[in-house]
Amino acid sequence: MSTKHYRLYQEKVKDNRLVDSEESEVLLTLGEGLYAPALPLLLYYALESTDYYCCMHAVQGLHSWDLSEHRERIKSALHVVNRDNSFNEWLPGMLPHIHPTTEKLQEYYEIGTWISNDRSAGILFGMSLSQGGKPFFERALNDPEWEIDDRGVSLWRVAELIQQKMK
């Protein structure tokens, strides 16, 4: 156990919630550090939070974790993505943890072509970093419907992050 992560957790977390949600980067640090005591905290912010930055940092922090024990909970949370446009933008970033089929990846690709581009970062992240997702990522990069090159939204930054994680 890392002393750095232990201290960070002790200082910034109380009752399994961030003391200050403005410090959401704490979630990314704890997640990337694979700090196991933070797992309930990270899952809460990834699956239930309505705060954009908290969800984003939790999802990105959980990317390298084995969450097979939580697959059904994640699947249940992702169910809302197919229903409407009111889900937290980063929730679909949890897609790799349910080991989606090619058909499910295609479904998410299609959602990304019609959903508002300021709501598609998590879809791009989750779809692309899922097993078998690289071809969908490459397609999205060249598909004008995804608007990845639009500098008005941060989707291009997400694409750069995905490329780094694919290396």
pTM above 0.85, yes or no: yes
Strand, helix or coil for residue 17:
strand
Assess contact for 127 and 108: CB atoms under 8 A: yes
126-142: b (≥16 Cβ within 10 Å) or e? bbbbbeebeebbeebbe
Banded model confidence at residue 151, pLDDT cuts 50, 70, 90: confident
The residue ranking higher by pLDDT, 28 or 155, is 28
Q: Taking 70 as the threshold, does the pLDDT of residue 162 lie above it?
A: yes
Between residues 83 and 137, the one the model is more confident about? 137
pLDDT score, position 1: 62
Residues 42-80 have pLDDT tens digits of: 999 999 999 999 999 999 999 999 999 999 999 999 998
Alpha helices in 71-133, H assignment, sequence order: 71-78, 102-114, 121-129
**18 three-state secondary structure:** strand
All structural domains of the chain with their residue ranges: 3-62, 69-166
Give the span between the Cα atoms of 26 and 120, in whole angstroms: 23
For 131-147, write each residue's pLDDT tens digit. Answer: 999 999 999 999 999 99
